[in-house]
Amino acid sequence: MIVKELMLMILSILLFSCAESKIETGPSDKILALLEQSKALKQRGDRVEQSMLRKKDSIDLLIDGPSSDQDNTVNGDFVDITSLSNDFVLDMRYATSNNFLKEKVYPCAKCYVRKNVANALLQANKDLMKEGYRIKLFDCYRPHSIQKKMWKIFPNPGYVADPKGGSVHNRGAAVDLSIVRLDGGAIDMGTDFDHFGKEAHHSYSMLSKTVLGHRKLLKEIMQKNGFTTIRTEWWHYNYKSGKSYKISDFTWKCN
């Protein structure tokens, strides 16, 4: 709008000058100054517009995920945990309908995490195996597009992280897990995975000594290997630097 007003002003001055004098030796200093000011304002406006477009692109990528021409292949910093060890048990609930959403949202059962997270999980599993247990995984890296799908099904921040901010799962640095016996036998942890009640809280003590002992063992080993807890879910662990990773949206191939 400012540029248009200046151009109209310049045009008025030129017309006025022509009406006043039939002899024109060239544009006056005032007109030249206005022209320069108009040019500077236009350049400034172009820069602001480009900056706003770049910010919009960044926001769109975060909210809507990558566009169709972006590479959705596996990021080099991610690794399939089962390619490193066969000692984990996979029970990837979101690749089935056996979850609180009551709907399958993963195409198939895979557990990808960042390389540093994978190394920490390997060491934690080795420590647990010395105690006669091993890790069972419920959820690992979660593509941002899946996060949006889960939010659409159940838009409650008490159960699902808002995809606008993403979750540590979307960064490949969070895992949901439990422990089983070395032979795969089930262990009582007090509640099932994704039980959203006070019984799943770390501070809840109205459980048997056996259950409390299992939770304590898992928590101590995970914390020893660089993971942190959240208050309300005994199964959820974030890697210590997890929030520093970028949100990702690659999807794995199914066999």
**Would you state the pLDDT for residue 8?**
57
pLDDT digits (tens, 9 = 90+) for 180-230: 999 999 999 999 999 999 999 999 999 999 999 999 999 999 999 999 999
**Would you state the pLDDT for residue 9?**
60
**Would you state the pLDDT for residue 44?**
65
Positions of the chain with pLDDT lower than 70, given as ranges: 1-35, 38-76
Distance, in Å, from the CA atom of 215 to the CA atom of 68, rounded to the nearest integer, reads: 43
Q: Give 72-77's long-range contacts (Cβ < 8 A, gap of 24+).
A: 72/249, 72/250, 72/251, 73/250, 74/112, 74/250, 74/252, 75/248, 75/250, 77/114, 77/115, 77/172
| Mean pLDDT rounded to a whole number for the chain | 82
Q: pTM here? A: 0.71
**Would you state the pLDDT for residue 63?**
38
**Would you state the pLDDT for residue 216?**
98
